[in-house]
């Protein structure tokens, strides 16, 4: 007779017990999934909150820096109402006076620092070629470039692996309207040269819109453009701005530099080659003071002749001016450890309809 295990035997499997175990395991799995999802959601929320805080902080800094630029514009407009010249002796060029002016903008938290410089204190890149025709080089501007490059080359311990003629001829070919085999001199360059590079690109064959284009021109090494070893590069001495209309409504570049605000290297380029060593004396003359009062007037184009040793010097009148319509405003906003910089170039102009002076924004970069 077969053996039958009693119903109360301890070896009997309890179906209800197995169901409870599975339920517990499922519950643990669900909790684990929910916990993982919760942690991921928490991370996303925290990331979104941080992003929102950073975005708000950047917005606040941007508005602060923008306020600094607008305050500088008001300062420049007020200056134009008072006089028609622009020199280093005026309030807009004095960091302390500018800082004092900025205190008129109240900020509950944070600070704004503003620096104003004259874009006409630099050499106009596009003036090298005679626009609007855009074919022939300007002899006056070419000689200015030759003297400028002599000054820049001289400050480098190691002579750059290029030469002034290559740079000037190539820049002329970059600017002029033609793009053919007739390069300027023996060292110019048109698109066929640049197309052979890696990566390839073409010559502009027109006015330079952004100063970075100069770095693409044959002969302009990175060191020459940006500077190296404490030596200033071309990027700090050049400007692409300064366009003006001709009588027939077309555009040109007068190539005039404000001798009352120009850098020492630019002053040396403006001076005749044999008198370049007077540049430092001219720079010192502009800011000489006695009892916190400037001792020399520099509002006339020939003020440089009053500098000791420069009485017999003559600078080409077509190269210089003592007024400006172009300014660079750098506004730096700070809150805690964060900062934001707005770099703007503005043109001061008079509204023909209202007669009011305004500042038109030409470039606006926020970093």
Is 121-320 in the same CATH topology as 49-118+326-366? Answer: no
Q: How confident is the model at residue 50 (pLDDT cuts 50, 70, 90)?
A: low
N-to-C CA span, the chain:
96
Q: Where are the beta strands (DSSP E) in the chain?
A: 111-118, 123-124, 227-228, 231-232, 238-239, 243-245, 251-253, 257-258, 289-290, 293-294, 320-321, 326-335, 338-350, 357-366
Please give the pLDDT value at position 275.
96
pTM: predicted TM-score of the whole model, two decimal places: 0.83
Give 282's contacts (C-beta < 8 A, 6+ positions apart): 259, 267, 271, 304, 307, 310
Whole-angstrom distance, CA of residue 330 vs CA of residue 349: 20
Domain 121-320: CATH superfamily, name plus number: EpsJ-like (1.10.40.60)
pLDDT digits (tens, 9 = 90+) for 108-147: 888 999 999 999 999 999 999 998 888 899 999 999 999 9
Give 20's contacts (C-beta < 8 A, 6+ positions apart): none
Q: How confident is the model at residue 32 (pLDDT cuts 50, 70, 90)?
A: confident
Residue 181, pLDDT > 90, answer no
Mean local confidence (pLDDT), 212-236: 90
pLDDT digits (tens, 9 = 90+) for 280-329: 999 999 999 999 899 999 999 999 999 999 999 999 999 999 999 999 99
In contact, 223 and 156? CB cutoff 8 Å: yes
**Domain ranges across the chain:** 49-118+326-366, 121-320
Residue 95, pLDDT > 90, answer yes
Please give the pLDDT value at position 158.
79
In contact, 189 and 183? CB cutoff 8 Å: yes
In contact, 89 and 103? CB cutoff 8 Å: no
Closest alpha carbon to 77 in 112, 101, 105: 101
pLDDT digits (tens, 9 = 90+) for 336-358: 889 999 999 999 999 989 999 99
Q: How many other CB atoms are found less than 10 A from the CB of residue 33?
A: 10
Q: How confident is the model at residue 2 (pLDDT cuts 50, 70, 90)?
A: low
**Fold of domain 49-118+326-366:** 3.30.1300
228 or 224, greater pLDDT: 224
**What mean pLDDT is reported for the chain?**
88
Please give the pLDDT value at position 47.
65
DSSP state of 353: T
């Amino acid at each position: 007779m077969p053996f039958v295990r009693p119903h109360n035997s301890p070896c009997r499997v309890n179906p209800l017990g197995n169901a409870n175990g599975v339920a517990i395991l499922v519950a643990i799995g669900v909790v684990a999934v929910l916990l993982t999802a919760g942690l991921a959601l928490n991370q996303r929320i925290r990331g979104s909150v941080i992003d929102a805080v950073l975005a708000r902080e950047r917005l606040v800094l941007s508005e602060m820096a923008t306020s600094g630029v607008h305050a500088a514009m008001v300062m420049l407009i007020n200056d134009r109402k008072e006089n028609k010249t622009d020199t280093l002796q005026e309030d807009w060029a004095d960091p302390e006076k500018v800082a004092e002016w900025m205190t008129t903008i109240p900020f509950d938290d944070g600070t704004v620092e503003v620096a104003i410089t004259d874009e006409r204190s630099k050499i106009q890149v596009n003036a090298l070629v005679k626009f609007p025709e855009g074919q022939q080089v300007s002899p006056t501007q070419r000689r200015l470039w030759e003297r400028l490059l002599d000054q820049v080359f001289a400050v480098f311990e190691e002579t750059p692996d290029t030469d002034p003629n290559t740079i000037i001829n190539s820049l002329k070919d970059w600017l002029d309207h033609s793009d053919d085999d007739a390069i300027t001199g023996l060292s110019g360059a048109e698109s066929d040269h640049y197309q052979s590079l890696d990566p390839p690109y073409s010559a502009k064959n027109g006015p330079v819109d952004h100063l970075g284009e100069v770095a693409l021109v044959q002969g302009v090494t990175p060191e020459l453009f940006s500077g190296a070893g404490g030596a200033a590069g071309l990027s700090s001495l050049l400007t692409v701005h300064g366009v003006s209309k001709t009588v027939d409504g077309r555009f040109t570049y007068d190539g005039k530099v404000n001798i009352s605000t120009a850098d020492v290297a630019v002053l040396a380029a403006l001076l005749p080659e044999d008198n370049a060593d007077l540049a430092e004396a001219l720079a010192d003359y502009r800011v000489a003071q006695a009892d916190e009062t400037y001792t020399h007037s520099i509002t006339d184009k020939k003020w440089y002749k009053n500098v000791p040793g420069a009485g017999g010097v003559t600078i080409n009148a077509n190269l210089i001016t003592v007024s400006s319509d172009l300014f660079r405003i750098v506004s730096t906003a700070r809150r805690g450890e964060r900062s934001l910089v707005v770099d703007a170039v503005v043109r001061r102009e008079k509204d023909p309809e209202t007669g009011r002076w305004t500042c038109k924004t030409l470039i606006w970069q926020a970093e």
